[in-house]
Each structure stands twice: as C-alpha cells, then as structure tokens.
C-alpha cells in the first residue's frame, strides 16, 4: 500500500545497515562472490520525504545522488514527486551498507509494492553490487552481492555481541572487484551452525574469512588480529572492502575497557550491538 501524505506532512523511515561481513569470498576458485552479512541495528540510514511538485534529493554525506536515486525509483515504477533527505549514522564507504540502506529507505518512502527480491535487483542495476538489507533476516542468506541472488538459506545463529569501529580510509565497493579468497569450506561449516552453537565456532569461521582476504589483499598492517587478542575476543569480523572492524564476544562478554582500547588503536566511531539468535 502506498504512503498517504497530508499536504504539510513529511514521512520518515530508517533502515539499519550492517557491520562488515561474517563471511565473504568466492564459492569455489572461479565461483560467484558470496557473503554472509552482519546486521547492525546501531547504525542506520534515516530518510525523510515531503510531497513536492518536483523531485529533489539532498544528501550532505553524498550517500546517494539525485540522478541515481531517480533511476532507482524508476526501476521500481515509483513516483518521484518528493523532496528526499538522507542522513547516515555510518560513513559512506565504511563497509556498513550506507548506499544500499539509502536506496531501500527511498523505496519505502515512495510507497513501493515491490518484493525484497525486486528491490535488490533495482539496487544492483544502480550500484553493481548490493547488500541484502531489504530482507527481514539478511544474516540468514548466503548472498551473491554482484548478482542480487540468494544462493542458500542459512540457519539461525547463536546470540553474540560485537564492539568495533572504522579503521583506515573508507572506500566504496567496486562491482568489478572479485579478488577474494575461496571460502567454500567455511560456507560448508557455517551451514552446520545453530542457535545452540558456541559463539567461538562462529567467531573462528568469521576470523578465518577475514584472515584469508586480508592476506590476499595485502593488508599486512591491519591491526585487527592483534586487537582481537588484546581484547580477549572470541574472534573478529571485517568489512572485506571497507573500513569496519568488529570484535566478537558471547553476550555480556565485551570488556569495559574495549572502547578505550579501540580508540587508542586508531579506530573511530566506536559502536556496540547484539546479533544472532532465532529470527
């Protein structure tokens, strides 16, 4: 059902981002690039729409632009007679899903009746790669981001918590970048997880995905492995093409000095959130 506006009223919505990927890599040496996203409820894109005679979009952080957003809405056959404003909690290019969350927010405000699958395809047409943030439980999908396709449904995860921040320069995802390690074995192991699994099993698989890809992408100076040891974390999670770096703990296990240690190491915009559990 399309949104109904009164003349002077705005409509607002927020779409949660993600915090890197629990897994990301090739499904086989020459297979598709797949990922398991880590939803992050503490970081979101906030959008506002006011009915207007002429379409306009304002994004001071340059999360999206007027032309791309209009093309996206056209893909969904949505009206563009609005003045949209976008604001993100996360830095664009940080590996936290700002651009995809922004497009999903615009679709909601424009009153789309499209399915999550069709929204994903419209995002792909604009960006060349997309996160599965339009789905209700995106961490339950083995997602082909360059195809906007679900490769497999995944089990619910054990409950855990993450503390992290952004390290190094932000960089937007390049759709042509497929220089990732083979993670077929990690995906197979991931499919055996359940809400009753020890958090350490999940954390080790996520850490191994990060290790393989950091090594492949010449990120020798990345402080994440050493910081995980210093924090006593069960493991770590990274944005494989961005700046997000997170540290995994059982629920209630994050050390009180964690935020201070991460800031001292040069991470910025520290955030902490819970994840996992039955949907």
Residues 138 and 197 reside in one and the same domain? no
The HSE-up count of residue 137 (CA atoms within 13 Å, CB side) is: 11
Please give, one letter per residue, the 3-state secondary structure of 256-277: CCHHHHHHHCCCEEEEEEEEEE
- 4 in a domain, yes or no? no
Mean pLDDT of 164-185: 90
pLDDT tens profile 176-209: 888 899 999 999 999 999 999 999 999 999 999 9
- 241 in a domain, yes or no? yes
Distance CA 168, CA 182 (A): 25
Residues 118 and 230 reside in one and the same domain? no
| Mean pLDDT of the chain, nearest integer | 93
**N-to-C CA span, the chain:** 25
Residues 51 and 104 reside in one and the same domain? yes
pLDDT at 216: 87
Residues 68 and 132 reside in one and the same domain? yes
Express as a percent the part of the chain with pLDDT over 90: 83
Instruction: Tell which residue, 163, 232, 157, has the closest CA to residue 195.
Output: 157
Which has more confidence, 80 or 246?
A: 246
Residue 62 DSSP code: -
Residues 18 and 138 reside in one and the same domain? yes
Distance CA 178, CA 46 (A): 30
Residues 40 and 146 reside in one and the same domain? yes
pLDDT at 7: 46
Lowest pLDDT segment from 46-50, 109-113, 133-137, 275-279:
275-279
- 6 in a domain, yes or no? no
- 1 in a domain, yes or no? no
Express as a percent the part of the chain with pLDDT over 70: 96
- 5 in a domain, yes or no? no
Residues 115 and 173 reside in one and the same domain? no
Instruction: Identify the domain boundary among 131, 150, 169.
Output: 150
Instruction: Identify the domain boundary among 150, 166, 196.
Output: 150
Residues 20 and 146 reside in one and the same domain? yes
pLDDT tens profile 29-73: 889 999 999 999 999 999 999 998 888 999 999 999 999 999 999
The CATH code of the domain that includes 160 is: 3.30.70.890
Domain count, the chain: 2
Which residue range forms the structural domain that includes residue 123?
Answer: 11-150
- 3 in a domain, yes or no? no
Residues 115 and 207 reside in one and the same domain? no
Residues 185 and 197 reside in one and the same domain? yes
Instruction: Tell which residue, 102, 46, 113, has the closest CA to residue 79.
Output: 113
- 165 in a domain, yes or no? yes
Distances, alpha carbon 55 to alpha carbons 52, 80, 165, in Å: 7, 5, 35
Distance CA 167, CA 266 (A): 7
Q: Is the pLDDT confidence value at 1 over 70?
A: no
Residues 163 and 146 reside in one and the same domain? no
Contact 237, 21 (CB under 8 A): yes
Instruction: Identify the domain boundary among 126, 150, 174.
Output: 150
Residues 188 and 251 reside in one and the same domain? yes
Give the pLDDT band (50/70/90) at residue 151: very high
């Amino acid at each position: 059902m399309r949104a109904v506006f009164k003349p002077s009223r705005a409509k607002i919505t927020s779409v949660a981002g993600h915090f890197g990927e629990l897994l990301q890599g090739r499904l086989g040496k020459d297979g598709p690039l797949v990922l398991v996203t880590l939803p992050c409820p503490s970081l979101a894109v906030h959008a506002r729409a006011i009915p207007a005679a002429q379409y306009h979009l304002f994004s001071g952080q340059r999360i999206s632009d007027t032309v791309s957003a209009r093309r996206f809405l056209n893909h969904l056959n949505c009206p563009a007679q609005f003045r949209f404003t976008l604001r993100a909690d996360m830095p664009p290019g940080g590996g936290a899903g700002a651009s995809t969350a922004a497009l999903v927010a615009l679709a909601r405000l424009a009153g789309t009746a499209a399915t999550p699958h069709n929204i994903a395809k419209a995002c792909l047409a604009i960006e060349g790669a997309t996160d599965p943030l339009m789905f209700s439980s995106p961490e339950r999908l083995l997602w082909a981001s360059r195809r906007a396709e679900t490769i497999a449904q995944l089990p619910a995860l054990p409950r855990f918590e993450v503390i992290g921040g952004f390290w190094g320069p932000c960089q937007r995802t390049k759709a042509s970048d497929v220089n990732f390690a083979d993670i077929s074995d990690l995906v197979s192991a991931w499919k055996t997880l359940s809400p009753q699994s020890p958090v350490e099993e999940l954390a080790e698989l996520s850490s191994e995905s990060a290790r393989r890809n950091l090594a492949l992408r010449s990120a020798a100076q990345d402080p994440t492995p050493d910081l995980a040891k210093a924090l006593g974390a069960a493991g770590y999670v990274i944005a494989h093409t961005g700046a997000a770096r997170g540290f995994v703990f059982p629920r209630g296990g994050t050390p009180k000095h964690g935020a201070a240690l991460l800031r001292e190491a040069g991470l910025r915009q520290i955030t902490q959130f819970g994840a996992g559990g039955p949907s």
